[in-house]
Chains A and B, each alone.
Chain A
Amino acid sequence: MNLAEFQAAFQQAILADDDRLAPTFDETAEFCRKARIGVYIAAYRLRLAAVVAGDYPMLREALGEDAFEALTISYVEATQSSHANVRWYARDLPDFMAVQPRFRDQIAEQSLARFERALSDAFDAADAPVGSAEDLAEFGPETALRLQLEFHPSIRVLELTAGTTRAYESLCDGRSIESCGGDRELVLFWRQDGECFYRLIDDEEQFALKLAQDGYRFGELCQLLAFRVAGEDVSRRAAIFLSQWLADGLVSAIALDE
């Protein structure tokens, strides 16, 4: 047996949870071959299960220990890691839940899993500078319509089951959750100064944020927003969005389109 055959057999024994597939190993009466390989077989599953549990603490609370353990076991058995960094291992859990017979109808729990996944993604997103109201003031009001914004890479908007945010907060506080589902809610996630944040946003803010992220000038943003919020003071509404984005640390750069 060469090194390649040795490693292939060892890996297969671990993945299949079958010590009979492993290469030949020395053993003693006190520490037999099966127990020796068993250390690696158990460690593989425990390590990956710990990663899943670490990424989804509130999903664990919501499902309860037995259901979460069942979910974790089935995910680990179905999902091999191909990345050097184990941090990315559990990112597909929400999609996995959606196709599992036991969990596919648990829409609220799937939504909670997506919520926690978004927080993890924001935590690891790339760094960028943060713009401020002072940066904006440098341009003067006469240039407002030509403003273009760049946004922090951590920003993400998810459409989740209504009540997901409230359920997450209840679970964090150790309270039981009310049933949620039916309607939808939009949640904005981002990171500022190393901390992850989220807040509910409405359809108009999502629309405006998407336009701004796509590079539309502030004047164009106001024009397009006017089609959705007829009768309102659109410029004032857009200015409130911009002010909030700056206060939240969502904006990384402000420039004028020449």
Chain B
Amino acid sequence: MGNDTALGFGLGLRPVYYGDIIGKTPDVDWFEVISENFLVPGGRPLSMLERIRRDYPIALHGVSMSIASVTPLDLDYLRDLRHLADRFEPALVSDHLCWTGVHGVNLHDLLPIPYTKEALAHVAERIARAQDVLKRRLVIENISSYTSSSLSEMDEWTFLAELTQRSGCALLLDINNIYVSSFNHGFCAETFLDAIPVDSVAQFHLAGHADHGAHKIDTHDSPVCEEVWSLFARARRRFGDVSTMIERDDNFPLFSELVAELDHARAIAADARELEIAQ
């Protein structure tokens, strides 16, 4: 689906890199920002985003919509998000297939759900309502997870494929999350990718993770690993030209190193494109 609207290759906008971006317009096609960091009354983050928005497309990426929670949708949050989107006109507005808390508590984590028919109906209905408030198509990301529920009645990829069909949302495929979850739960990452409808994918995430031997944790604190690059190549062959970005949230390297990593993503995408043409 991304062919007409693909943004190219972007990075997560983090304050540590403002000085590398403002006034220097580095070779980055777009930036993704964490929505909640800009849901504030005012101050430097918003003024920085205004300056960067003059030169680059942006995407808003949230962590607190809690779209899978049984707690009623936070309409104040959604309205604030809509105002932010109206102000900055992002190309994409995304959040995660997860819940962050119930009973008035926010655990500030991306928590997994059992993949049941009940959950599917619940989440699809909430996405539709959120899209009504936001006046935009929502993009939903697969999370990294460390638990899988015996209550599940279907695979995560089946759930996602059905969710996009029922709710009309698009999908953000986090390639690293697919890899991390496949390792932690013992499923085949390629099977996941191959089950996702081609026209549902609006964005890719790439990131690093921590290897704890028996399990892996999504940490965004290291470069993208070879296995994830390999999955990314497969994803580009299957889904084509989709907006792609690299997330980095800790152990921040020089900005030039992230740009070099982005160039590697570009090269893999170009190879995938050539392979597609050759076939």
Residue of B with least CB distance to A82: B104
Q: Could you say which of A23, A82, A191 contacts B151, with CB atoms under 8 Å apart?
A: A23
User: Is A14 an interface residue, CB under 8 A from the partner?
Assistant: yes
Residue of B with least CB distance to A2: B118
Q: Could you say which of A4, A31, A40 contacts B70, with CB atoms under 8 Å apart?
A: A4
Residue of A with least CB distance to B78: A84
User: Is A3 an interface residue, CB under 8 A from the partner?
Assistant: yes
CA distance A37 to B185 in the complex (A): 13
* Inter-chain contacts of B64 with A (CB < 8 A): 84-85
Interface contact B44-A123, CB-CB below 8 Å: yes
Interface contact A40-B146, CB-CB below 8 Å: yes
Contact residues of A between 1 and 56, Cβ < 8 Å to B: 1-4, 6-8, 10-11, 14-15, 22-26, 28, 30-31, 33, 35-37, 39-40, 43-44, 47-48
The dominant DSSP class at the B interface is: loop
Q: A3-B118, A30-B214 are in contact. Are A11 and B186 (CB under 8 A)?
A: no
Q: A81-B108, A84-B36, A86-B108 are in contact. Are A24 and B151 (CB under 8 A)?
A: yes
* Inter-chain contacts of A191 with B (CB < 8 A): 43
What band does the interface of chain A fall in when counting residues whose beta carbon is under 8 Å from B?
Answer: 35 or more
Interface contact B41-A40, CB-CB below 8 Å: no
User: Is B165 an interface residue, CB under 8 A from the partner?
Assistant: no
Q: A26-B148, A31-B184, A87-B36 are in contact. Are A14 and B41 (CB under 8 A)?
A: no
User: Is A194 an interface residue, CB under 8 A from the partner?
Assistant: yes
User: Is B28 an interface residue, CB under 8 A from the partner?
Assistant: no
Q: Could you say which of B41, B48, B70, B74 contacts A124, with CB atoms under 8 Å apart?
A: B41
* Inter-chain contacts of A127 with B (CB < 8 A): 41-43, 46-47
Interface contact B101-A37, CB-CB below 8 Å: no
Chain A residues proximal to chain B, CB less than 8 Å: 1-4, 6-8, 10-11, 14-15, 22-26, 28, 30-31, 33, 35-37, 39-40, 43-44, 47-48, 80-87, 89, 123-128, 153, 191, 194-195
Q: Could you say which of A6, A10, A24, A84 contacts B106, with CB atoms under 8 Å apart?
A: A84
Query: Interface readout for B178-198 with A: 1 if CB under 8 Å, 0 if not?
Result: 000000111000000000000
What 8 A-B pairs have minimum CB-CB distances, sorted nearest first? Answer: A194-B44, A127-B42, A126-B41, A84-B64, A30-B214, A39-B146, A126-B42, A4-B70
User: Is B113 an interface residue, CB under 8 A from the partner?
Assistant: yes
Interface contact B44-A195, CB-CB below 8 Å: yes
CA distance A86 to B111 in the complex (A): 16
Contact residues of B between 69 and 107, Cβ < 8 Å to A: 69-70, 74, 77, 99, 101-107
Interface contact A87-B40, CB-CB below 8 Å: yes
In the complex, besides A3-B119, A7-B113, A194-B43, 13 extra interface pairs with C-beta distance below 8 angstroms are: A3-B116, A3-B118, A6-B149, A11-B107, A24-B151, A26-B148, A84-B36, A86-B106, A87-B36, A87-B40, A124-B41, A127-B46, A191-B43
Q: Could you say which of B103, B116, B149 contacts A24, with CB atoms under 8 Å apart?
A: B149
* Inter-chain contacts of A14 with B (CB < 8 A): 107, 109
What band does the interface of chain B fall in when counting residues whose beta carbon is under 8 Å from A?
Answer: 35 or more
Q: 18 A-B contacts, Cβ less than 8 Å apart?
A: A7-B102, A10-B111, A11-B105, A14-B109, A24-B149, A24-B151, A36-B215, A44-B109, A81-B105, A86-B106, A124-B40, A124-B42, A124-B43, A126-B41, A127-B42, A128-B42, A153-B41, A194-B48
Interface contact B215-A31, CB-CB below 8 Å: yes
Q: A3-B122, A47-B108 are in contact. Are A194 and B146 (CB under 8 A)?
A: no
User: Is B39 an interface residue, CB under 8 A from the partner?
Assistant: yes
CA distance A37 to B150 in the complex (A): 14
CA distance A83 to B80 in the complex (A): 13
Interface contact A6-B43, CB-CB below 8 Å: no
User: Is B158 an interface residue, CB under 8 A from the partner?
Assistant: no
Q: A85-B36, A127-B42 are in contact. Are A36 and B147 (CB under 8 A)?
A: yes
* Inter-chain contacts of A195 with B (CB < 8 A): 44
* Inter-chain contacts of B109 with A (CB < 8 A): 14, 40, 43-44, 47
Query: Interface readout for B205-222 with A: 1 if CB under 8 Å, 0 if not?
Result: 000000000110100000
CA distance A44 to B150 in the complex (A): 23
Interface contact A81-B107, CB-CB below 8 Å: yes
* Inter-chain contacts of B114 with A (CB < 8 A): 3, 6, 23
Interface contact B43-A35, CB-CB below 8 Å: no
Residue of A with least CB distance to B116: A3
Distance of A152 from chain B, by nearest CB (Å): 10
Distance of B231 from chain A, by nearest CB (Å): 21
* Inter-chain contacts of A124 with B (CB < 8 A): 40-43
Q: A6-B114, A25-B149 are in contact. Are A83 and B41 (CB under 8 A)?
A: no
